[in-house]
C-alpha cells in the first residue's frame, strides 16, 4: 500500500527535515513507501551538480523578496519552488522494486507525462536532460533525486499555476536556452493543485502498486 502524506504549504527546510526522518525509518524497517505531496513558499535550491553562478539575483535582493537559498543533497542543478507548484517526494524502498535509480527517474517522468495528459497536454523528454517538457522547449516538471541505502528522497516539482516570473531569478536547472511553463499557462485557465494531487496519487498508485502489495 502506498502511504500518502499531504503536507500542504510547508517551509522548505522543515519539509527536508521531515523527509530525512521518514527516509531513516524506511532504511531501518523497510516496511513503508511514502509519497509526500506539498507546496513550498518561494525558495531556490541548489543540487549537487549546481552552483550559485546560476542564481541571477543577489542574495540581498532575494532576501528582500523573502526568497531563501538552500543547498541540498539531491541530484541536479538550481531550481525554484513556489506556491501553486506541486512538489512530490516519493520516499520509496527501491530494494522492493528495482535497485536502479535511472529506472526510477524514468518511471517518475512517465507518471508526470500521464498526469499532465489529463489536461490535454503532451509531455515529452529532451535527450540528455531530466524532467518533462512541452514541445521540447518549455519545462513543465523538474526532477532531482537522492538515494541512500536504496531509499529515495527529494523528487519532482510540477508547475501547476505558480508564478513563473520568479524563475527569472535563476537559470533553471542550468539550462539557458529553454523556458519554463505550467499547466495553467499552457491551457489558459486556472488549475487547482488539490485536483492535481488527486490525479497524482492515483497515477503513482497504479504505476507502483504492484510493488506495494508484496
| Residue 173 is a catalytic residue | yes
Check 38, 111, 147, 173 and give the catalytic one.
Answer: 173
Would you say 181 and 159 are in contact if contact means Cβ atoms under 8 Å apart?
yes
CA-based nearest residue to 158, from 82, 210, 106: 82
Task: Return the C-alpha torsion angle 30, 33, 38, 44, nearest 10.
Answer: 60
Angle at CA 28, nearest 5°, toward 22 and 31? 75
Which string of DSSP letters, residue by residue, matches 134-156?
Answer: ETTTEEEEEEEEEEETTEEEEEE
Q: Where in the sequence numbering do the catalytic residues fall?
A: 173
Amino acid at each position: 500500500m502506498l502511504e500518502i502524506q499531504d503536507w500542504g504549504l510547508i517551509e522548505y527546510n522543515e519539509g527536508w527535515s521531515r523527509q530525512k526522518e521518514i527516509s531513516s525509518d524506511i532504511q531501518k524497517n523497510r516496511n513503508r513507501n511514502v509519497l509526500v505531496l506539498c507546496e513550498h513558499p518561494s525558495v531556490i535550491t541548489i543540487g549537487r551538480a549546481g552552483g550559485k553562478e546560476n542564481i541571477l539575483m543577489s542574495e540581498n535582493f532575494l532576501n528582500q523578496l523573502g526568497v531563501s537559498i538552500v543547498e541540498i543533497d539531491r541530484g541536479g542543478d538550481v531550481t525554484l519552488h513556489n506556491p501553486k507548484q506541486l512538489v512530490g517526494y516519493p520516499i520509496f524502498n527501491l530494494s522492493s522494486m528495482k535497485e536502479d535509480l535511472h529506472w526510477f527517474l524514468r518511471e517518475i517522468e512517465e507518471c508526470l507525462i500521464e498526469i499532465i495528459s489529463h489536461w490535454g497536454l503532451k509531455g515529452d523528454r529532451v535527450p540528455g536532460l531530466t524532467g518533462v517538457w512541452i514541445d521540447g522547449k518549455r519545462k513543465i516538471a523538474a526532477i532531482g533525486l537522492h538515494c541512500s541505502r536504496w531509499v529515495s528522497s527529494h523528487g519532482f516539482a510540477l508547475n501547476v499555476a505558480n508564478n513563473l516570473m520568479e524563475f527569472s531569478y535563476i537559470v533553471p536547472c542550468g539550462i539557458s536556452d529553454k523556458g519554463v511553463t505550467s499547466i495553467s499557462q499552457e491551457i489558459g485557465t486556472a488549475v487547482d493543485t488539490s485536483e492535481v494531487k488527486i490525479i497524482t496519487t492515483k497515477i503513482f498508485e497504479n504505476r507502483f502498486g504492484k510493488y506495494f502489495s508484496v
